[in-house]
Amino acid sequence: MHRRLAAALATPALALVGVLGTATAADAVPADKAQVLASWTQTSASSYSQWLAARNNQSAWAAYQFDWSTDYCSSSPDNPFGFPFSTACARHDFGYRNYKAAGTFSANKSRIDSAFYEDLKRVCNNYSGATKTACNSTAWTYYQAVKAFG
């Protein structure tokens, strides 16, 4: 009896860990949408990687009804001076659109903006010297714009 109860209690917990720890939800029990959204909008590189993997396999997440639409960097260039910022802008849009739909945008805006800045800086880490400096300056400008106007 204890073994069956322990197995029954462990299964949902393991499924939740599987959903949040990977970007393939097809065989997992759906976790709370808010938890998944939160896990994909953190500042860490792993959060970004999990979101990107999910974005590339949106059909696996269809049950969550996330808004994956994006206008990338809105009215700013998506790839300013050749720096590929479009994917960072898409994740930023994902956070804004889904937290607005959930009615919890204002409580999460600062973190979404910070995650955006971290994503942009990760792009800039692919450069060195004056090019990296120019990229970081551009990233800072984009971040200040979303903080003020986003």
Query: Is it the case that residue 135 has pLDDT exceeding 60?
Result: yes
SS3 content of the chain, % helix, strand, coil (to 5): 70, 0, 30
Residue 44 to residue 24: CA distance in whole angstroms: 19
Which tens digits make up the pLDDT trace of 60-77?
999 999 999 999 999 999
Handedness of CA 54, 59, 64, 65 (dihedral sign): positive
At the topology level of CATH, where does 2-149 sit?
Answer: Phospholipase A2 (1.20.90)
Calculate ∠ Cα 19-110-137, nearest 5°: 105
What is the per-residue pLDDT for 16?
Answer: 43
Cite the active site residues: 92
Band the pLDDT of 24: cuts 50, 70, 90.
low
Q: What is the pTM of this model?
A: 0.81
